[in-house]
Structure 1
Amino acid sequence: MIKKLKEVNATDKRVLLRVDLNLTKDLRGRIVDDFRLRVVLPTIRYLISKKAKVIIMSHFGSPGGKPDKKLTLAPIAKLMARYLKKKVSFISEVVGPKVESRIAKLALGQVAMIENLRFDPREEENTVSFVKQLAKLGDIYVNDAFSVAHRNHASIVGVPKILPAYIGPLFEKEIKILEKVRTKPRHPFIVLVGGVKLATKLPILNYFKNKADSILIGGALANNFLVARGFKVGRSFYEPNLVGDAKKLLAVGKIILPSDLVVVANKSGSGIVRTISLGRVEEGEYIYDFGPKTIKGFIGIIKKAKTILWNGPLGLDEIIKFRVSTDSIARAIASAKAFSVVGGGNTVIGLDRLKIIDKFDYVSTGGGAMLEYLGKGKLPGLGALDR
């Protein structure tokens, strides 16, 4: 049985709160999207109101199990403090006597944040000694980090084996919404899948192939389906070992592919951009977006939908001129009457950039976790809370 945060009296308790503060940075190291921070603020404010002693723990980037000044949580602690309008005490270590001493001095309703969990290699290894050191920092454990609940890491699956464990309200809401889409979507039900690798999207494509009315495919993963249908994709990325899987999915009859493509001869995206029909990709070209015919066709399907699930950008969104399809479809979904659910880091960043994020019925914090839950109906981090 999974216990909810509001079931516990958190007053005067050291609450070890696992959140996901893996925020997006630009090439200069500046935070450019803080969506994951903003959505967890209500949980932190709730604990403050209950006079808990809140200990925030998170990862940030992939430092490889050692300290990296570029990936310290210190600036994120300052950003959180600005949002909360309350001091957030940053502790420059992850575990150990110094951390324990600083936490012991917390007063009721105060907030502290420990350093990046992944500065210690034992976090990703789920080492017992590290789990025990983390558990010493709290009286109860709360997981409100749905977006990393697919990881078998110490702070996700280890600590809840030791401390009384609870699901946070954000995590709980994510599961409720995604379960609704998994099992009781209103029809017509449209699944829109983009991104790069088909390998990561196969579980949800296989799960929804007989449940969705249409599955719209974009991004580089569409190249696998184009190859499966006998079209050449030039130098574009695809996964030869998964073309067979793409053929099987096409046989179901639900897959809708781009009908025109935006290509360029330079891998960097520079130079002349061509919009072409299928079958006209030259040997040295790269497919970086799809064209106006596809956009018009996809929007027509979207307008008729009652439920829309979207994961992954549809073009190479790192380059502005290849964001046309993603931005056009995003705006179409935002103005549609359907119940819309979207997830995936780059996709969410795009919605924030377009300032339409509030037009979607639900925006998931998870990319990989969303895919895994939709495809399998379970997550390691969720299972760890079921005691």
Structure 2
Amino acid sequence: MKSLDDVVMRERVVFLRADFNVPLDENKKVADDTRIRATLPTIERILNSGAYLLIASHLGRPKGKAKPEFSLRPVCDHLSSLLGREVTFVGDCVGDERQKALERAKPGDCFLLENVRFHEGETKNDPEFARALADGVDVYVNDAFAVSHRAHASVHGIVKYVKECAAGYQLQKELEYYHKALVDPKRPVVFIVGGAKVSTKIGVLENLTDRCDKMLIGGAMANTFLKAMGKSVGASMVEDDFLEGARSFLDKAEKAGLEVILPVDGRGVETGGNVVKEIKLEEITPNFEIYDIGSGTVEAFKRAIADAATIIWNGPVGMFEKEDFAMGTFEVARIVADSRGLKVAGGGDTVSALRKSGTYDRFDYVSTGGGAF
């Protein structure tokens, strides 16, 4: 796919597939505009070229229905304020309203189309819907890394009906750091993974077995690995139906020469209690619930990270949303931020944790890809 800078856009209709799937607060205001801001350089480049810009995105999972709670209208208002120029909201991503908007447009005008997932044809990659999206479009630009792996009409189907296609700046940056971190990284490579469930990330773990030198596992998912090894985790969250899968992964990792580092202690409470304690694994009682890694694990992670040339982080290592259990995630964030290696992070919860810990700007790259990262 061409770069945005390889395409002539002046007085041409440009269809930009962006990723504005952002959280809204109770007042329907954008709560986190990280993804919107990441796309601004691409938008400004297109508008400054004198193009007619149509921006398309999805928001949530309306399942082919026009549900008001998933409307992109609040995003339109926010985008307009960020750009410092008018962005016109179009109430449908295809059809007469869009066509009439273009007929009235001047070069440099910007339109945000309503949620593409209000149509069933989007997720079904329906050819007729893809053709409708492409109607009158001269240039297609993809800047939505988070959905680029999906066979959806606004990502996959539309390119068959537009003569000229290009990658936006954000998509190019995502691919650049993916290459630096996972395809041709400087070693040693340390992968930090957290979150609640092993089952949702086992594919990623197995894929990275021969791509990293050390794997540090935290979060509730670590409990499943620990129990699979015969360790006591008390009444902590465990995927009991995935214990065999966890054992299988650990065996594969050992055979591949991958060093897997798991927690040696944890912070939590007794079931039904509210007194937070830090306790070593061998001292955990049957009713103890782990919600964060302990200081001993933080030190073990710090030693593992010390000589890393490349660090990849996906998933918090504790329930950082609660102040009592934020220590582990925030300390690991600071340790990584202080390291000399290439620092790449991704995943929605990870991004939030970096912001709350004050380390977001100290990472070399933070992916906007969410689950795609």
- For the aligned pair, the TM-score class normalised by the smaller chain equals over 0.9
* 1:52-67 to 2 correspondences below 5 Å: 52-67=51-66
The correspondence for 1:363, drawn from 351, 359, 366, is 366
CA contact (8 A) 1:188 1:306 kept: yes
SS at match of 2:31: strand
Residues 102-138 of structure 1: CA deviation (Å, up to 9, x unaligned): 1232211111001112222221222222212111152
SS at match of 2:211: coil
CA contact (8 A) 1:249 1:255 kept: no
CA contact (8 A) 2:29 2:74 kept: no
SS at match of 1:199: coil
One-letter identity of the residue aligned with 2:90: I
Going from structure 1 to structure 2, the CA distance change for 1:283 and 1:66 (only over 3 Å counts) comes to: farther
The correspondence for 2:332, drawn from 316, 325, 329, is 329
CA distance in structure 2 between the partners assigned to 1:29 and 1:318 by the alignment: 22
Deviation at 1:281, TM superposition (A): 3.9
Going from structure 1 to structure 2, the CA distance change for 1:142 and 1:297 (only over 3 Å counts) comes to: same
Partner residue, 1:291: 294
Deviation at 1:179, TM superposition (A): 1.5
* 1:42-61 to 2 correspondences below 5 Å: 42-61=41-60
CA distance in structure 2 between the partners assigned to 1:228 and 1:324 by the alignment: 26
Partner residue, 2:105: 106
Deviation at 1:362, TM superposition (A): 0.9
Deviation at 1:313, TM superposition (A): 1.1
Going from structure 1 to structure 2, the CA distance change for 1:30 and 1:49 (only over 3 Å counts) comes to: closer
CA contact (8 A) 1:303 1:336 kept: yes
Structural RMSD (CA):
1.9
Name segments (4+ residues, structure 1) moved above 6 Å: none
Q: Larger deviation: 175-184 or 227-236?
A: 227-236
Going from structure 1 to structure 2, the CA distance change for 1:99 and 1:271 (only over 3 Å counts) comes to: same
* 1:73-152 to 2 correspondences below 5 Å: 73-136=72-135, 138-152=137-151
Residues 178-236 of structure 1: CA deviation (Å, up to 9, x unaligned): 11221222222111011122233223322222332210001122122112111233443
Residues 285-313 of structure 1: CA deviation (Å, up to 9, x unaligned): 43211111111221222222111011111
CA contact (8 A) 1:4 1:167 kept: yes
Q: Larger deviation: 53-62 or 68-77?
A: 68-77
CA distance in structure 2 between the partners assigned to 1:335 and 1:148 by the alignment: 32
One-letter identity of the residue aligned with 1:22: N
* 1:310-321 to 2 correspondences below 5 Å: 310-321=313-324
Partner residue, 1:242: 242
Deviation at 1:161, TM superposition (A): 1.9
Deviation at 1:25, TM superposition (A): 3.3
CA contact (8 A) 1:224 1:239 kept: yes
CA contact (8 A) 1:289 1:322 kept: yes
CA distance in structure 1 between the partners assigned to 2:317 and 2:73 by the alignment: 34
Deviation at 1:368, TM superposition (A): 2.3
- Residues 1:343 and 2:330 aligned together: no
CA contact (8 A) 2:266 2:290 kept: yes
- Residues 1:184 and 2:189 aligned together: no
Partner residue, 2:265: 260
CA contact (8 A) 1:311 1:367 kept: no
Partner residue, 1:306: 309
CA distance in structure 1 between the partners assigned to 2:222 and 2:369 by the alignment: 22
Residues 311-357 of structure 1: CA deviation (Å, up to 9, x unaligned): 11111233232221111111111121111010101111222233322
Going from structure 1 to structure 2, the CA distance change for 1:135 and 1:187 (only over 3 Å counts) comes to: same
CA distance in structure 2 between the partners assigned to 1:260 and 1:26 by the alignment: 36
CA contact (8 A) 2:354 2:360 kept: yes
CA distance in structure 2 between the partners assigned to 1:161 and 1:280 by the alignment: 61
Q: Which has the higher contact order (CA 8 A, sep 6+)?
A: 1
Percent identity over paired residues:
37
One-letter identity of the residue aligned with 1:197: K
SS at match of 2:199: helix
Residues 39-88 of structure 1: CA deviation (Å, up to 9, x unaligned): 11000000011111111111112223222322221111111111111100
CA distance in structure 2 between the partners assigned to 1:30 and 1:266 by the alignment: 37
Deviation at 1:266, TM superposition (A): 5.0
CA contact (8 A) 1:131 1:154 kept: yes
Aligned residue pairs, count: 367
CA distance in structure 2 between the partners assigned to 1:338 and 1:159 by the alignment: 39
Unmatched 5+ stretches in structure 2:
none
Going from structure 1 to structure 2, the CA distance change for 1:337 and 1:40 (only over 3 Å counts) comes to: same
Unmatched 5+ stretches in structure 1:
371-387
TM-score by length of 1: 0.89
Partner residue, 2:175: 175
CA distance in structure 2 between the partners assigned to 1:144 and 1:304 by the alignment: 34
